[in-house]
Amino acid sequence: MIIPDWERFVGDMGEIFEDVRQYDEGELATYIPQLSRVPPDSWAMSVCTIDGQRKSWGDSLKPFCLQSVSKPFTYALVHDDIGAEALHAHVGQEPSGRLFNDICLDHNKKPHNPLINAGAIVVASLLKHNTPLADRFDFMIHACRKFVGSGYIGFNNSVFLSERETADRNYALSYYMREHNVFPKDLNLQDTLDLYFQICSIETNCDSLAVMAATLANGGVNPMNGERVINNRACRDTLSLMYSCGMYDWSGQFAFHVGLPAKSGVSGDMIIVIPNVMGIALYSPRLDKLGNTVRGVKFAEQLVQKYNFHNYDSL
Ligand code: GLN
């Protein structure tokens, strides 16, 4: 067993979970109206180890949209499909030092990385490029089902419609990128943005999201059914980017203090990957000024105080 004293570990995790509940500052995302209407106090956490031990706390079956937590998975799937070189001809690997939806490109006139909006929209444009939009969405949602195994994956149409109605920033970003020839040839911009919004609106819950994170912790193989979802190299590159760019403009601080690959989304979800050990999913919709879930970040900080999971703790 990868966690020898499971009972004790579960006890400690539950204590941190309850302690973190006290942090009720932060605001719900309001720029997507549907996201501002969720119960603000929800708090959920689930863990799944690479040998299939699982435990959940709080509202772990409550559905939420992946939002930006979809970004590492879309990246991993496109990487697995077309390879790093073709993918990174369109997007860099550098933290942007800006907010997730800032209108800026790097010095090569490419998006800084695939985990901010600009980069993720470009990655969406590469996902099964040149096939009908319906097939591209099918590919993505089926792949999400492979990541979760028998868990829950759905689609929240009202969040999709709500986001599409209020997406001026993402349209602006996309026109700016098209001006700089960031996209592949024969781009259908509206299709690409629709696909991007649809991917953000894919729904899951903490219990299932932990299995998605555990699949990344396990080198791309779903620990619950042994099925390979992405190749090792795609998994490695995804984790590298999550380590350096996964928490928006808090990524450097997070890498320093917590030292683990992670990704957050504006719905208040977050994954933390402890490579070769486990995936952790968290959900609490109140966000800090940078767009990260307040409780999720607090949890991560307390986790590495209790357990030596920081990347450099083993030194
Ligand atoms: N769908 C959101 C957007 O594009 C995703 C952003 C996020 O989760 N940070 O604005």
In short, whether 265's Cβ falls inside 6 Å of ligand 1 is: yes
pLDDT band at 281 (very low <50, low <70, confident <90, very high): very high
Torsion of CA 256, 92, 153, 60, to 10 degrees: 10
Residues 6+ apart with CB under 8 A from 263: 68, 69, 71, 72, 115, 242, 246, 247, 270, 271
Torsion of CA 157, 160, 163, 164, to 10 degrees: -110
How far is it, in rounded angstroms, from Cα 120 to Cα 90? 11
How far is it, in rounded angstroms, from Cα 230 to Cα 172? 32
Element holding 61 (H helix, E strand): none
CB atoms within 10 A of CB 214: 33
Task: Give mean pLDDT, residues 146-150.
Answer: 97
Burial (CB count within 10 angstroms: exposed 0-12, middle 13-18, buried 19+), residue 289: exposed
pLDDT band at 301 (very low <50, low <70, confident <90, very high): very high
Range list of H helices, 149-246: 157-165, 168-179, 189-200, 206-217, 232-245
CB atoms within 10 A of CB 91: 29
pLDDT band at 314 (very low <50, low <70, confident <90, very high): confident
- The three-state secondary structure class of 282 is strand
Report the atom number in ligand 1 closest to the C-alpha of 101.
10
Amino acid (one-letter) located at 286 = R
Q: Is the pLDDT of residue 288 over 90?
A: yes
Contact (Cβ atoms closer than 8 angstroms) between residue 96 and residue 116: yes
Q: Is residue 311 part of a domain?
A: no
pLDDT value at position 102? 86
pLDDT value at position 196? 98
Q: Is residue 313 part of a domain?
A: no
Q: Is residue 160 part of a domain?
A: yes
Q: CATH code at 207? A: 3.40.710.10
Q: Is residue 169 part of a domain?
A: yes
Averaged pLDDT score across all residues of the chain: 96
Report the atom number in ligand 1 closest to the C-alpha of 120.
4
How far is it, in rounded angstroms, from Cα 100 to Cα 232? 27
pLDDT value at position 100? 85
Task: Give mean pLDDT, residues 246-261.
Answer: 96
Token pair listed for 256: 């320093």
| CA proximity to 211, closest of 57, 13, 48 | 48
In short, whether 67's Cβ falls inside 6 Å of ligand 1 is: yes
Dump strand ranges (E) for the chain. 44-49, 54-58, 64-65, 154-155, 202-204, 262-264, 269-274, 278-283
pLDDT band at 67 (very low <50, low <70, confident <90, very high): very high
Q: Which domain covers residue 224, as residue numbers?
A: 6-306
How far is it, in rounded angstroms, from Cα 206 to Cα 270? 9
CA of 68 to the centre of ligand 1 (A): 5
Q: Is the pLDDT of residue 298 over 90?
A: yes
Task: Give mean pLDDT, residues 273-277.
Answer: 97
Q: Is the pLDDT of residue 98 over 90?
A: no
Token pair listed for 290: 């940078």
pTM: 0.98
Task: Give mean pLDDT, residues 101-105.
Answer: 88
Task: Give the residue, out of 197, 266, 269, 292, with the most ligand 1 atoms within 8 A of its beta carbon, to mutate for a pocket test.
Answer: 266
How far is it, in rounded angstroms, from Cα 285 to Cα 283? 6
In this predicted complex, what is the ipTM? 0.96
Q: Is the pLDDT of residue 97 over 90?
A: no
Whose C-alpha lies nearest to ligand 1, atom 3? 117
How far is it, in rounded angstroms, from Cα 284 to Cα 300? 13
Question: pLDDT tens for residues 153-185?
Answer: 999 999 999 999 999 999 999 999 999 999 999
- The three-state secondary structure class of 80 is helix
Q: Is residue 140 part of a domain?
A: yes
Q: Is the pLDDT of residue 101 over 90?
A: no
Overall domain count for the chain: 1
DSSP 122: H
